Structures are given as C-alpha cells and as structure tokens.
Amino acid sequence: MDMKYMADFYITAYNDAKAYPVVGGVLGTPLVTDINPGGICVDRYGVTWITCAWGAATGSIQSIKSGVVSSPITVGGNPFGIIVDKNNVLWVIRQDNFTITPVTNGVVGTPVVLTGGATPSWGCCDFNNDIWVVSTIATTSKLHQIRSGVLVNTFSISGTSYGICCDLTNFIWTTGQDSGVVQKIQNGTVLASVTVDSYPMGICCDLNNDIWVSCNGGYNLWHLSGGKPVGKPISLSASPAGILCDSSNNIWVISDAGKCISQIANGRLVNVIPVPSAGTLQVCFGDATGTQAAMLFGWNKPPVFAPMMLF
C-alpha cells in the first residue's frame, strides 16, 4: 500500500456520488464514485470497498485504492451493506431479493438466500469467519448466520434491528431502533438487553471491548462497559448513526442532518468536522470492517478504518 494516499477512513455521500476521505481528523478532497454510493468496508489489504446504486436495477461495488476509484463490478439489484471476511471475500447484502452475495477477487459468486421474509440491511463477520446479517420485518427482526457460503441459521429477535457488530470476545451486538435497546447475542440467543436512548442505530466495539452506540432520536452517543452504561451520554449533532473505532481507540460518528463527523477521545467530544455535502451522508451501522477487521486480520496498527452507514 502507498501510505501517502491512504485515508484514515472514507464516508460516502449518497446523492452526490462522492466518497470523502478523512485523514488525521481533516476532511480531504472527495472522489467521484458510481451512482448512489452507500455501504463501506475495508479489506485485509487496506482497500476500501463501497456499494453503489441503491434502488437502481443494476447495483455495483467499487474499490478505492491509493486514492483511485475502480470501475464498477456489477452485483445486480439493490446492494446495501458490505462485509469482508477473514479470507478477504466480500459479502454484498441485496435488499431487492433478500440475498447476500460473495465476491472473490472481483468474481461474483452464487447468492445465498436469507429466509424469513425480512429485509436485510447490515452485517458483520465473527472470529469463526461466520457472517451475521440483520433483517427487519414490521417490528421484529431476523438474525441470519452464514457459514462457508451456506445459511445455517435464521433466528428471530425482538425489535427493529439496524446496527450490528461483533465484540472482541465473539459476542454479537445489535441495536433495536424502535425499542431503544441494545442486545448482546450468542448463538442466536439474547443474553442481555441494555436500554439506551430512542432510535439506537450505529454500534461498534472499541479496543477495550467496550460498546459504543449512536442514538438518532436523542442525538447522543452511549458508552457501555461490561454491558452497563458509563457516565452520561455524549451530545452530538442531529441524526447521528454511522460509527467506527480507529486504531488509536478514537470513536467517530457521522451525523447526516448535522452534516458532520464527530471525534470522541477518552470519552470526550474533541473534534467536529463539517462535511459540505448536499447528499445523504452514508456510513455503515456497525464496525465489522473497522476495529473488528483489524482483530480478524491480525493488524497491530491498521492504517485504514471504514464505517458502515447512516440512512
């Protein structure tokens, strides 16, 4: 990798067809992408991947490497979230046909059908290389487990889940937007529920195995340690959702309505970066490709982190 061109992470502006790099807490010059960029992940080689063309008939993914956006790879339909596994295989979640499709070295594989009749959105990879995807139907959710390219389980969980991440001890965490709770899950069983503010959306795990949750309704950020809230929530700009943790244990949160990125260090808001975009700022709703990807791939100090998304 040419570190001179590496961003700390990228965010996408859905309506603007742009990807904005953030380097050292400063917003860089945006890169032009395919139509309607959204979900983001970073592979084990530090290459950023984005999904494009939400709502279009033919969706695609693109890579960003050394500041250059690749030609689109067509995956079809309405691609949403994107995940990378331990083998560097990309998994693209499609909302139009309720599937998740593997992409290996640019070759699109056979889609895996996600049963249960719910609309899939976000996902993560655990330390066993299983892929977990949340999907919603009415006010309930499904949690899908994919192993070696096969759907092995579909669990029912309460609430409308959007955010999802895997912590450093291999527990899955989800956010229940309508219920205002965060759920800790193992093998499809909810072990604990923590009440936070209204509309919890983004969720990530930090280097201390603490959980951070952005709440869209209360415009704040919750810090959980040992499954319990730590101190008072941190106030943020309007509509916080997408979230990630970087290699220095900073927490970054995207606020779409506030058109900014907030940086939290040592539990304090230390930096707010304006984003001059008329588009909808996108960042994925989890951290499977941020801190977690670093742990999966054995990076000691990974150079690149990407979020998952704001809707």
What's the confidence (pLDDT) of residue 283? 61
Residue 309 lies in a domain: no
The two tokens of residue 87 are 């083998």
Quote the domain boundaries for residue 142: 3-211+281-297
What is the Cα–Cα distance from 134 to 117, expressed in whole angstroms? Answer: 12
Report in angstroms the alpha-carbon separations of 193 from 209, 211, 263, 289, 302: 17, 13, 27, 24, 31
User: Which CATH number goes with the domain that contains 156?
Assistant: 2.130.10.10
Helix, strand, coil % in the chain, rounded to nearest 5: 5, 50, 45
Residue 269's pLDDT is what? 96
Residue 228 lies in a domain: no
pLDDT at 294: 52
As beta bridge partners, residue 10 has 21
> Whole-prediction pTM value?
0.89
Cα 149 to its chain centre, rounded Å, is 21
pLDDT at 299: 44
Confirm if 53 and 94 have CB atoms less than 8 A apart. Answer: no
pLDDT computed for residue 262 by the predictor:
93
Exposure class string for 62-101: b at 16+ Cβ within 10 A, else e? bbbbeeebbebbebbbbbbbbbbbbeebbbbbbbbebbbb
In a domain, 222, yes or no: no
The total number of structural domains that make up the chain: 1
pLDDT of 74 reads 93
Q: Which residues of the chain have pLDDT under 50?
A: 1-5, 287-291, 296, 299-311
Question: What is the CA angle 141-143-146, rounded to 5?
Answer: 155
**Do the domain assignments include residue 61?**
yes
Q: What DSSP string describes 51-64?
A: EE-TTSSS-EEEEE
pLDDT on residue 311: 33
